[in-house]
Amino acid sequence: MKTIHKPHSIILDPENDSAPMVVLYGGLMGWEYDWLIPRIPLDLKQNVTFVLPAHYLVDCSLCLKEAHSEVSKDRVSSYSLCGFSRGGINVYKYLKLADWKILGLIDPSAPRMGGYADSVLDSNKGKIRCAYWLQNWAKADYYPKIVSFHKHLSDINAEMVDDIKTPHAQMPNFFFETYRSDFK
């Protein structure tokens, strides 16, 4: 596995002939690219190319361009987009940028926190993989928006594990442990 530092992202390249590529956005408070790396299970890092934007405000197309400067498109078997916490807004924002296999929501901010409707992912509900624990958000002013989105995901029968008593900082690892086979 090779770790490549680019101006706007870190690329974890397993150096396989073919591998899925996952763009993984982090959240606020320094919970971004370098913080996320040790929270991704080792076997996934050995079998999946991860592109970790340096900040949640970095444009996804720029990160993909950086990734493809190192990993040719013919080595990518599929693309997925994931967002942890505030990085979840980027799943809604870049929904139409590529044909994503998986739309991963890791204890995400609600769409309305980024100006999107709770229904933003409805036409792609089969691609959603989500891990939520509402209590991680209970003290926030925007808790009602989180509850509304959580209910919406339940109402549309999106693939979601919830009420799992996993602290927010442990959610990335929990998410990838739970959905590991979906990325392969």
- Report the C-alpha gap between 50 and 40 in whole angstroms: 9
> Mean pLDDT score of the chain, rounded to an integer?
96
Q: Is the pLDDT of residue 148 over 90?
A: yes
pLDDT tens profile 12-71? 999 999 999 999 999 988 899 999 999 999 999 999 999 999 999 999 999 999 999 999
- What's the mean pLDDT in 142-161? 97
pLDDT tens profile 93-106? 999 999 999 999 99
Hey, what domains does the chain have and what are their CATH numbers?
A: 2-183 (3.40.50.1820)
- Asked if residue 110 lies in contact with residue 157, where contact means CB atoms within 8 angstroms, the answer is no
- What's the mean pLDDT in 84-100? 97
Residue 164's pLDDT band (boundaries 50, 70, 90)?
Answer: confident
Closest CA to 54 of 4, 91, 17: 4
Residue-by-residue DSSP string for the chain: -EEEE-SSEEEEE---SSEEEEEEE--STT-SHHHHGGGS-HHHHTTSEEEEESSTTS-HHHHHHHHHTTS-GGGEEEEEEEEEGGGHHHHHHTTTTS-EEEEEEESPPPGGGGT--TTTTGGGGGGEEEEE-GGGGTTSTTHHHHHHHHHHHHHTT-EEEE-----GGGHHHHHHHHHHHHH-
CA quadruple 120, 124, 127, 132: dihedral, nearest 10: 30
User: Which pLDDT belongs to residue 30?
Assistant: 87
User: Which pLDDT belongs to residue 184?
Assistant: 82
- Report the C-alpha gap between 143 and 43 in whole angstroms: 34
